[in-house]
Amino acid sequence: MIRVLLIALSTLLLAPSLFAREIAGVPVAETTTVAGKSLVLNGAGIRTKFFFKIYVGALYLPQKSTDPETIYPMSGPKRVSMHFLYDHLDREKLVDGWNKGFRKNLDNTELTTLQPRIDAFNAAFSGVDEGDEIHLDYIPGRGTEIWIRGQLKATIKGADFHVAWLKIWLGNEPADKGLKEGMLAR
């Protein structure tokens, strides 16, 4: 009987370490797995716009870093995870947000080179509702997988494309400076 109680107690004590953080009521896992590789939570925060909480964003990497220039070329898979808090965002607003992020953080040559892949990225999205999750998983040699509500919607090839979408959050003109600081654990 005492042994069963000790096992139960140790299980309870270890369980919080899986979701040691909670942001806006959303549990944020300390680790995740992408393409069979374990990733650690680099940091997380809330994307806000005009006082509205839009989503909880989290960045997962092979090892932690506070420097985007170290993160972009980092070998191995990476993940940006978004858990939506806002009641509904239609496709047009999502795509508009992605496009603004690309335009603000890429030069004209990069935009021209990446435009067909940006268009394919945008085509993968539909509207999202409160509680929906989007995962953008970069897998070297395969590309960026777009997962929406647990379903793979598209894979966009290229390491250059993965750096471009990371810049939406980590670039010089991020979508949300507070979220950038959170994702970089600053």
C-alpha–C-alpha distance, residues 182 and 124, integer Å: 27
Residue 9 belongs to a domain: no
CATH number of 128's domain: 3.50.70.10
Q: What are the backbone angles phi and psi of residue 94, rounded to the nearest 5°?
A: -60, -50
Quote the tokens at residue 116: 């067909």
Q: Say how many domains are in the chain.
A: 1
SS (H, E, C) 29-97: CCEEEECCEEEEEEEEEEEEECCEEEEEEEEEECCCCCCHHHHCCCCCCEEEEEEECCCEECHHHHHHH
Which residue range(s) make up the domain with 98?
34-183
pLDDT digit string, tens, across residues 81-100: 999 999 999 999 999 999 99
In the predicted model, is pLDDT for residue 18 greater than 50? no
pLDDT digit string, tens, across residues 153-162: 999 999 999 9
In the predicted model, is pLDDT for residue 141 greater than 90? yes
| Integer-rounded Cα radius of gyration of the chain | 17
In the predicted model, is pLDDT for residue 19 greater than 90? no
Q: What is the pTM of this model?
A: 0.88
Residue 16 belongs to a domain: no
Q: What's the rounded mean pLDDT across residues 24-30? A: 96
Specify which residues 134 forms β-bridges with. 82, 148
